[in-house]
């Protein structure tokens, strides 16, 4: 066996990370104490919960835990702390470009409204970028459980603030609910405004939800997308179009999409030529950050260092990073692979 290199030193892009879910567990405990929020055992430390979100009860429990954690973010300084610490964690894991995903409407009630909330978040990202050196941008995500008109409002707002670091537009929450096509106008607004389309699909629902992302929303990336492995023709479409799937292995197992890490179809997507960007999704709830996803690919699926380097390249190519940033990170990936372990 060849040299095994430290995946934390492998330069990479992180394209699937949710805002509240990026919080450090210790920070959540401190904020909960600050605001007198009583946290359930699943958020109070110890082993990450097994949420089994493939059934209604499990998804409800996941949403309840996420909402409770989000309720502890009440002041601009809380937002600033979360973003700074998230950037620090990503830097530690070798991330060179981070696109953090947020629905600002979820934070608006406590931060003075939708526009103030978005500006507080963008200010925090600017500050974290300066303080940590991490190239960090924002992907605004609509909630598919809300009315499509809300998504259009968010898309217009995201385009309006594009010069402040917003690079993409997404659609999150349970893809088993509603239809992707109901949000086609919002995604058209975002695409016409120069934003990358990156809706969720192919996690809790099967291949059809990935097809809907391609056909109805003209996705350039798909959040998760792993269930495309069940449809060889769909895999061929993704590969031919170069649509990157933001695969989050630890999340898939924690939510019960797959029983164990070895079941996540990384090799199926890889062998079909589908570009992938490994992501941590919600480390607060799933217990592992970015580098751990690469460790999982190595340990559970036998990815060699050369293959891990190619996964990192795919994450960079699938990002919204400008050409000069891409070129620099790609060169450093080559240097990681060329160096001794």
Whether residue 203 lies in the annotated active site: yes
Nearest to 326 by CA among 13, 25, 100, 108: 13
Nearest to 140 by CA among 162, 116, 170, 98: 170
What does 211-275 look like in DSSP terms, one character per residue? HHHHHHH--SEEEE-GGGGG-HHHHHHHHHHTPEEE--HHHHHHTTSSSSGGGS-HHHHHHHT--
CA distance 182 to 139: 20
CA distance 80 to 84: 6
CA distance 70 to 109: 12
CA distance 248 to 226: 9
Tokens of 64: 């309840």
Tokens of 69: 């954690």
Q: Are 226 and 202 in contact (CB under 8 A)?
A: yes
Catalytic residue among 89, 203, 246, 295: 203
Tokens of 128: 């974290």
Q: To the nearest 5 percent, what fractions of the chain are helix, strand and coil?
A: 55, 15, 30
Catalytically active residues, by annotation: 203
């Amino acid at each position: 066996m060849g040299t095994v290199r430290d995946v934390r030193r492998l330069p990479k892009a992180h394209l699937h990370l949710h805002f509240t879910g990026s919080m450090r567990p210790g920070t959540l405990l401190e904020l909960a104490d600050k605001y007198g929020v009583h946290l359930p055992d699943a958020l109070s430390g110890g082993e990450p919960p097994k949420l089994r979100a493939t059934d209604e009860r499990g998804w409800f429990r996941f949403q309840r835990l996420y909402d409770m954690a989000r309720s502890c973010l009440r002041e601009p300084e809380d937002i600033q702390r979360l973003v700074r610490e998230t950037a620090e964690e990503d830097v530690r894991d070798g991330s060179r470009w981070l696109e953090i995903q947020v629905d600002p409407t979820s934070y608006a009630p406590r931060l003075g409204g939708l526009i103030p909330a978005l500006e507080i978040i963008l200010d925090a990202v600017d500050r974290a970028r300066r303080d940590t050196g991490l190239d960090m941008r924002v992907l605004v995500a609509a909630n598919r459980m809300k009315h499509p008109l809300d998504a259009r409002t968010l898309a217009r707002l995201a385009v309006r603030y594009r010069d402040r670091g917003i690079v993409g537009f997404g659609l999150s929450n349970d893809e088993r609910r509603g239809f992707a096509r109901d949000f086609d106008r919002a995604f058209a607004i975002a695409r016409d405004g120069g934003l990358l389309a990156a809706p969720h699909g192919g996690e809790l629902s099967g291949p059809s939800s990935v097809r809907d992302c391609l056909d109805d929303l003209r996705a350039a990336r798909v959040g998760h997308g792993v269930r495309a492995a069940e449809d060889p023709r769909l895999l061929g479409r993704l590969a031919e179009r170069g649509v990157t799937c933001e695969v989050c292995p630890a999340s898939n197992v924690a939510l019960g999409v797959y029983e164990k890490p070895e079941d996540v179809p990384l090799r199926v997507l890889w062998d079909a030529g589908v570009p992938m960007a490994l992501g941590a999704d919600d480390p607060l709830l799933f217990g592992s950050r970015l580098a751990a996803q690469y460790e999982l690919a190595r340990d559970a699926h036998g990815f060699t260092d050369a293959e891990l380097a190619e996964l990192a390249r795919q994450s960079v190519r699938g990002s919204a990073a400008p050409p000069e940033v891409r070129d620099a990170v790609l060169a450093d990936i080559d240097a990681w692979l060329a160096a001794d372990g």
